[in-house]
């Protein structure tokens, strides 16, 4: 591991349930980003809160979601400052985008130009599950993600994961209140929309958030909560 990688790790308290991956994205970020490498950070979501949302979002989950986003965005800022200090170009990608900054194209496709989950599979942190979540080896889907892009060639890069490790497990598919997934196992050549319907998922997330916590937001988390990987 080179000393820039070590300095990045020093900015992220790994003891406090963080994961860090280094990914070679090759041409995957083109044409929107002129970068080749991604640093992806995962922050584990508190177990007690995640266990409490098996049947829908609650205020504790809403607060945790906001706090973890803020924490991740702060870490990305700290890591960006390491690059600035060394005169190396980089671009931070926050955990989430405010609804006000989402455009027409997004509402038609529910796709952003950058996927944290793709960087996470490229870094070897995990694979994509049957309801399109990133399933980390260590904490299952109970993590939120943020990233930083650069052309700095890190000396140690993660080994990409190209296939699902979910096997015959169907729990998230069966428990999804939107019936958004059809049970197909993911691999890198399958498009998201062929195994999971983001529109069904989003409309159920919004309905549950409005009904249970009276917030106009796309929160649900049932698929995250029920996954056996990452549960204590």
Task: Decide if residue 219 touches ligand B12 (CB under 6 A).
Answer: yes
Site for ligand B12 contains 158 (CB under 6 A): no
* Member of 19, 20, 223, 226 binding ligand B12 (CB under 6 A): 223
Q: How far apart are CA 137 and CA 126, in angstroms?
A: 6
Stretch that binds ligand B12, among 1-9, 31-39, 81-89, 186-194 (CB under 6 A): 186-194
CA atoms of 169 and 177, how far apart (whole Å):
17
User: Cβ(23)–Cβ(160) under 8 Å?
Assistant: yes
Q: Is 36 in the site for ligand B12 (CB under 6 A)?
A: no
Residue 227 DSSP symbol: -
Count of C-beta atoms within a 10 Å radius of residue 66: 12
**Distance separating alpha carbons of residues 128 and 161, to the nearest angstrom:** 9
**Window 75-114: contact mask with ligand B12 (x via CB under 6 A):** --------------------xx-------------xxx-x
Q: Where are the beta strands (DSSP E) in 130-173?
A: 134-136, 143-150
Q: Which of 18, 221, 226, 230 binds ligand B12 (CB under 6 A)?
A: 221
| Residue ranges binding ligand B12 (CB under 6 A) | 28, 65, 95-96, 110-112, 114-118, 121, 128, 131-134, 141, 143-146, 188, 191-192, 198, 201-202, 205, 218-221, 223-224
């Amino acid at each position: 591991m080179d000393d820039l990688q070590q300095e990045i790790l020093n900015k992220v308290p790994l003891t406090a349930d963080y994961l860090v991956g280094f990914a070679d994205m090759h041409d995957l970020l083109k044409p929107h980003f002129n970068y080749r490498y991604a640093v992806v950070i995962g922050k584990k979501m508190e177990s007690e809160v995640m266990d409490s949302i098996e049947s829908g979002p609650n205020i504790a989950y809403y607060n945790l979601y906001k706090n973890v986003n803020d924490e991740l965005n702060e870490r990305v800022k700290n890591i960006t400052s390491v690059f600035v200090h060394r005169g190396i170009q980089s671009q931070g990608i926050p955990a989430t985008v405010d609804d006000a900054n989402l455009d027409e194209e997004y509402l038609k496709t529910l796709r952003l130009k950058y996927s944290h989950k793709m960087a996470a599979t490229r870094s070897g942190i995990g694979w994509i599950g049957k309801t399109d979540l990133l399933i980390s080896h260590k904490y299952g889907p109970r993590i939120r993600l943020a990233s930083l892009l650069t052309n700095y060639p890190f000396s140690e890069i993660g080994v990409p994961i190209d296939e699902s490790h979910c096997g015959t497990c169907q729990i998230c598919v069966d428990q999804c209140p939107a019936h958004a997934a059809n049970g197909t196992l993911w691999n890198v050549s399958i498009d998201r929309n062929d195994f999971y319907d983001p529109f069904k998922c989003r409309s159920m997330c919004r309905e549950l958030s409005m009904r249970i916590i009276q917030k106009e937001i796309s929160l649900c988390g049932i698929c995250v909560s029920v996954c056996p990987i990452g549960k204590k």
